Structure 1
Amino acid sequence: MRTSPVGSRRMSTTATDKISQAASRRSPYRVVQRVILPLEADSDSIPLYVDAGTTSVDPRTDAARAQGTAGPAVTGETVQSSDFRGRFSTVVRPGSRMSFATYFNAFPASYWRRWTTVGSVRLEVTVSGNGTLIVYRSNAKGAQQRVESLAFEGRTPHVFDLPLTPFGDGGWYWFDIVGGVEGALLEGAHWAVPDAGGKRGRASIAITTFNRPDYCLRTIETVCGADTVREILDDLLVIDQGTQNVADEEGYPEVAARLGDRLRIVRQGNIGGSGGFSRGMYEAVRAGRSDYVILLDDDIVLEPESLTRLVAFADFARRPTLVGGHMFDMYNRTVLHTFGETVDPWRFQPRPAHEDMELGHDFARSNLRTTPWLHRRADVDYNGWWMTLIPTEVIREIGLSLPLFIKWDDAEYSLRAAKAGYPTVSLPGAGLWHIAWGDKDDLVGWQAYFHERNRVIATLLHSLYDRGGRVLRESSYMDVKHLISMQYYSEQGRLTALRDVLAGPDRLHELLGTRLAEIRSLATEYSDAQFRPDLDAFPAPQRHKPRNKGRGVHQPARIALAPWAAKTVLRQTLRPVAEGAAERPQTFIAHQDARWWRLAQYDSAIVSNAEGTAASWYRRDPRQLRAMLAEAMGLHRRLLTEWPRLRRSYQDAAPRLASFEAWEDTFRRHAV
C-alpha cells in the first residue's frame, strides 16, 4: 500500500473526469467505479451515496432493529445537499465527517475477489483544503477496520493500492474525509484495477416496454446524458409492445437525434417480458457487435453509472458471467428491495441468498457501516431482469428466454446458464429504482396463471427431486387458500395453468400472444375481479355481530392449521351463504388485512387492491368452490402421476423452445 501525488493543477469536475477517462485508457489501471453523487441534488436517495458522522458496526444492531429497539445508525451529523458541487465533487464542512461507506460508493471487494481475476484495487482520491483522509475495510461479519489515515493540506491527490486477499467471504473498502479548520473539498475519486491490455467490452441495452412511454423515454434520456455509458454503447434497443409508443412521446425526436442510429425502436405485438427481452437478445446477437446485452425494465429510474460497472465487472470475470443490479423502491428511494436471491431447491421458490438478510432494508435507518449482513457476500442463483447483463456468447450457446410471457423467465434462464457453467452475480453498487413488489399483489388476478404455470415448468426443468420436491403440495395448498378466500378468478387462472402444463411444451410459443387475453376475458364472470374506484359503488356493509365476541379474527396456530383448514373447507362447501350476504357485503377489508385466514371467515366482503386505487366484491359460492376444488385435486393427481413423462418432455423441448429459429417464427407472427 502506498500514497503518491498525481498532480497539482486545479481542474473543474468535468475536466478532471475527462482526463481520468483518457488516462484509464492509456494506463495499466482501469477505472471500474467512480465515486458519484446523486443526479438530483435534493434527491431522497442521498444516503445511498454519502453518509455522515462516526459510527461502528455492532453485530447486535440487526437483532435490536428486529425488536424495534435499535437507535439511530449514526451521530446527529447530516449530509447537506447544498454542499454538493456536481456529480463528483462535494464540500466537507470544518470539523464534520463525510463517509463514502455507502451502497453506490463503497467498493464491494469480496465480489471482485470471488468472481474476477483481479487481485488488488487502487483508490485515487483528489482533495483540497485541509483535513484527514481515512481508508477503511470491513470483513464478512461487518467489523470495521482502519487501513490508512493521513492528514492533507492544500490540493493533495492520493493513491492507495489495496489488496483483495482478505475478502474471501465478504467485506468492502471505503474512505471517509474529516474536514479541518478550513474544511475540505473532494474534487473526485475512483476505484481502479490493474489492466494490462485487458478486455474492453461493449454492450447493447435492451428495454422491453408496454404502454409506459414516459418512463421509457426518461431512461433513454438518462443513458444519452451519461458520457461513460455512451462510450460502451453499441445499440439502445427499445422493444415496444404497446399501443402508447415511445416514438410518439414529446422529447423523443431530440434524444433520437443525439443517439443517431444507435437508438433502434423495434415494434411487435405484446408477447410479454420473455418475448420482449428475447427480441432484445436476438437483435443484439444478430448484429454481431456487442459483447454483452443489458436487459432493462421499462418502469424504472436508472442510476447510469450502474451500467458501466456491470460491463467493467463482466470484463474481468473469470468466465462469462451474468451480472445483475439490485432493485430499490421507486417510492421510498433508500429502501433496498432485495440484496440477492436463490431458488429454494425443495420448495422451488425464491428466497434470500442467506438467512441474515433483511428484505426491504432502509439505508436511511441503518447504513452500510451499521448493518452486518450487508458485508457478507451474497452468492445468487439469478438476478431479476429489471437490470441484468448477459454475455452474447452465453446467448449463442444456451439460446434465448423460454416463451413464458412473464414470471420465472429470469430465474429459469440463470439456472439454465449455471448448468452450462455460467454463473450469475448480483453486484452491489449497480442498482436502479423500480416499483416494489409490496406495492403490487401479482399472486391474485390474471398474473396468478403465469405464477402457477411457469413455476411448475421451471421445476420440471431444473428440480433436483424426482417429483419436484414440495412444489405440488404447496400448489394444492394455494388452491385451498384462494378458494376459501373467495378468489375464484385467481383460482380459475391457476386451474388453466395446470391444464396447460399437462398439455405439454409444444404450445408455449403459440400461447404467448393469446393466453393473456383469454385469462383477462374471464374477469367478467367473477365479482372478485371486477374493480370499482369508489366504495360507494357497492352496497353499504350490513351490520353483523363481531367475530369471536369482538375479539376479531386471528391466524390459526401452526399446530392447528390442518384441522382448521379442513373444517373451514367443509363449512364453506356445505353451509349455505348467510342471509343477505349476496345482496350486501358483511364487511370492508383493507388489502393489507386481506389474509386468507381472515377472508375465510366471511361470506361477502369488499376488498381493496394493493395499489389502493379500487376495490372488488368477494362473495362465497359453495357450488363454485366444490367444482374448482374437485378439479384442482384431479389436476394435481395427474401431475404427480405423470411427472416423470412431463419432465422428460419439457427437458427435451427446452433447447428447441429457446432457439433462435423458434423465436424468429414467433417474432414474424407477432410483427406490427
Structure 2
Amino acid sequence: MPEQVKVGVPENGQVMARRLVVQRGVFVGMSPIVNDDLYVEFRKGSGERTRHRVALDKGTRISTNTYFGRFAASYWQRWTTVTEVEASLRIESEGRFRVRMVASDIAGHRRILETRDGLGSSQVALTSPLDKFVDGGALWLEVDSLDAPMTIDHLEWTVAAPETVRPVSVAICTFNRADDCAETVAALASDATVRDLVSSVYVVDQGNDLVKDRARFVEAADKLGEKLKYLQQPNLGGAGGFSRGLFEATSEGADLADVILMDDDILCEPETVLRLNAFANMTVKPTLVGAQMMYLLNPDFL
C-alpha cells in the first residue's frame, strides 16, 4: 500500500476510514533562490521555518494562502469525486493558539469557515465541504500563537481514500543537460514519501553528455534502486523521448495508469508529484493535467 494512504485504529479497535494525503504542509523550498513566502507567509510577528515544520514566536500569525500552501478547492470540486477535505496539523505550545480554515471565491474575497481555539500541545483538524467553489476559490489555514511560542508540523490535507490507490511513473526526456537532469532526479529521490508512491522514474537520455556519469545521479540511483530506469536512444526530440517514457511506463502492467512527463532542466519541487498523483486517483474520469512552472530566473512569477 503506498505511503500516502493511512489507516488508523482507535482505542476501541474499530478501523477508521482510510484517508488519502493529497497535500502536505511544506514551509520552505528545495533551493535558497526560491522565496519562502511562496510556501507560508508571516502576516505578523516572526519565526523560523524548515521543510515540514514552522516555529512561531509569541504573537505571530502565519497563513498558507500562498502558491504552494493553498488547497485548490475549485479544481478538486470540478474534476474529482471528493466532497469534503480535512486539514490536520500538530501543534506544540505551552500557551493559547487559534487555527482558522479560510476560503476564497473567484474574486479572492476571504471568508472564515471554521475556527479552533486551543491551549497547549494538541492535534487539530478542520474540515470543509467542497460545494461552494464551482466558480473558483481556494482553502487555506491561518494560525496564531496568542501568548506563547509554538511549533507546527505534520500539516496534511486529506480526503476519503478510494479502494485502491494507483502508483505513478515519472518520465524525463533529456538531451545534453546532464547536470540539470541529475539534479531533477536527485530532488525526486530526496523525499522518502515520494519515493514510496512512485512506481518508476524513467530517464530517456538522447544526448552524448550522459546523465549517468554525474555524481548526483549516482547518489539518486542508490536511493531509488530498481525504480530508476535509465534508457539511452538517438535524439528523437521531445516527442520521441517522452513517447519512449510513456511506452515503458504503460508496459509495466494493467495496474499503472498515471504518468508524469517532467522536464530535465527544472528546479523540481517533489511535493508536486504527491499532489498530482493524489489528484489523478480522485478524478471522475481519466484526465490530462497541465502543470505550471515558475520562471527559474525569477521564481516569484509563472
TM-score (ref. length: structure 1): 0.42
Q: Give 1:315-354 correspondences, 5 Å limit.
A: 315-336=281-302
Amino acid at match of 2:124: H
**Equivalent of 1:214 in 156, 170, 179:** 179
Correspondence for 1:253: 218
Q: Secondary structure at the match of 1:137?
A: strand
Shift of residue 117 of structure 1?
Answer: 0.6
* Structure 1 contact 52–97 (Cα < 8 Å) conserved: yes
Task: Say which one has the larger Rg.
Answer: 1
Amino acid at match of 1:214: D
Correspondence for 2:112: 146
Amino acid at match of 1:155: S
Cα distance per residue 1:154-199 (max 9 Å; x no partner): 112112221111111111111111122212211221111122x433
Correspondence for 1:165: 131
The percentage of aligned residue pairs carrying the same residue is: 34
* Structure 2 contact 206–234 (Cα < 8 Å) conserved: yes
Amino acid at match of 1:170: G
Q: Give 1:631-642 correspondences, 5 Å limit.
A: none
Correspondence for 2:196: 231
Q: Secondary structure at the match of 1:277?
A: helix
Correspondence for 1:307: 273
2:25 is equivalent to residue 35 of structure 1: yes
Q: Give 1:552-567 correspondences, 5 Å limit.
A: none
* Structure 1 contact 24–30 (Cα < 8 Å) conserved: no
Q: Which has the higher strand share?
A: 2
- Mark the CA change 1:22 to 1:120 in structure 2 (over 3 Å): closer, same or farther: closer
Correspondence for 1:126: 90
* Structure 2 contact 46–60 (Cα < 8 Å) conserved: no
Correspondence for 1:45: 35
**Equivalent of 1:99 in 47, 63, 76:** 63
Output the CA distance in 2 between the equivalents of 1:251 and 1:202.
25
* Structure 1 contact 24–31 (Cα < 8 Å) conserved: no
Amino acid at match of 1:93: D
- Mark the CA change 1:272 to 1:259 in structure 2 (over 3 Å): closer, same or farther: same
Shift of residue 227 of structure 1?
Answer: 1.4
- What number of residue pairs does the alignment pair up? 292
Output the CA distance in 2 between the equivalents of 1:42 and 1:245.
27
Output the CA distance in 1 between the equivalents of 2:207 and 2:280.
32
* Structure 1 contact 94–183 (Cα < 8 Å) conserved: yes
Shift of residue 40 of structure 1?
Answer: 4.5
Gaps of 5+ in 2: 10-15
Give the structure, 1 or 2, with the largest relative contact order (CA under 8 Å, sep 6 or more): 2
Q: Secondary structure at the match of 2:150?
A: strand
Output the CA distance in 1 between the equivalents of 2:33 and 2:154.
20
- Mark the CA change 1:167 to 1:211 in structure 2 (over 3 Å): closer, same or farther: same
- Mark the CA change 1:293 to 1:20 in structure 2 (over 3 Å): closer, same or farther: closer
**Equivalent of 1:262 in 216, 223, 227:** 227
Correspondence for 1:194: 160
* Structure 2 contact 58–146 (Cα < 8 Å) conserved: yes
Q: Secondary structure at the match of 1:323?
A: coil
- Mark the CA change 1:149 to 1:22 in structure 2 (over 3 Å): closer, same or farther: closer
Output the CA distance in 1 between the equivalents of 2:224 and 2:151.
35
Output the CA distance in 2 between the equivalents of 1:252 and 1:299.
14
Correspondence for 1:185: 151
- Mark the CA change 1:302 to 1:311 in structure 2 (over 3 Å): closer, same or farther: same
- Mark the CA change 1:105 to 1:242 in structure 2 (over 3 Å): closer, same or farther: same
Amino acid at match of 1:36: V
- Mark the CA change 1:306 to 1:192 in structure 2 (over 3 Å): closer, same or farther: same
Correspondence for 2:238: 273
* Structure 1 contact 128–153 (Cα < 8 Å) conserved: no
Output the CA distance in 2 between the equivalents of 1:278 and 1:40.
29
Q: Give 1:399-548 correspondences, 5 Å limit.
A: none
* Structure 2 contact 5–18 (Cα < 8 Å) conserved: no
- Mark the CA change 1:285 to 1:309 in structure 2 (over 3 Å): closer, same or farther: same
Instruction: Report the aligned-residue RMSD.
Output: 2.2
Output the CA distance in 2 between the equivalents of 1:166 and 1:51.
25
2:110 is equivalent to residue 155 of structure 1: no
Output the CA distance in 2 between the equivalents of 1:87 and 1:136.
23
Q: Secondary structure at the match of 1:181?
A: coil
Correspondence for 2:53: 89
Amino acid at match of 1:49: Y
* Structure 1 contact 239–268 (Cα < 8 Å) conserved: yes
Shift of residue 216 of structure 1?
Answer: 0.7
Amino acid at match of 1:223: L
* Structure 2 contact 85–157 (Cα < 8 Å) conserved: yes
